[in-house]
Amino acid sequence: MAETSPVPRRLLIALGACPLMLHVALVGHGWTWLVATIGGGRFIDLGLVAASGLPHALVYLGLLTMFAATLRPGRDALITGLARRMYGTISPEMAAYTRRVTWVWCGFFAAQLATSLALFLLAPLADWSLFVNVLNLPLLALMFLAEHTCRPFFLKNAPRHSPADMIRMVGHVTSGLWQTRSG
């Protein structure tokens, strides 16, 4: 089987630029279609709000549901299952740690949803748009970095991987899960 090439840089740049352009379009002036009044006379372009807010909410709600469903008693937490798939047998310490990390990710997803809703209802539209469209990916990257940095403090003999190694492992594990489900 041939190894797949990494994602082209141009695609990553485009994916990073799209939310920024949507933020500029959303908080800019001149949008006259699908305008509605919400709250204290705030005007919102519902088409653009839905274009950025709905996918954000659906993705985080889906991730929260998926991660939380694996935390039921008697089930392997999602990250525990990924660790077993990557390493084979894992220690009870690693299983407990990965279960706690799954809880932490659930908290992150819930915080994303709650912050988005609070900003949408209580803050200027520009603040909400900045959070949803621009800060979303940096906050996600910061969460990965925080877990990676904290891991040695909470787990003896923590596996050490570079960010590139982690991306390759996640790609390998998720492609294996996809092949298992669809094959």
> Which CB contacts under 8 angstroms, 24+ apart, belong to 66-74?
67/102, 67/105, 67/106, 67/109, 68/106, 70/102, 71/99, 71/102, 71/103, 71/106
57: tokens are: 């909410």
Least confident piece of the model among 23-27, 93-97, 152-156? 23-27
> At residue 39, does pLDDT exceed 50?
no
> 110-125 pLDDT, tens per residue?
999 999 989 988 988 8
Q: What is the pLDDT of residues 60-89, one digit of tens each?
A: 999 999 999 999 998 999 999 988 888 888
pLDDT at 180: 45
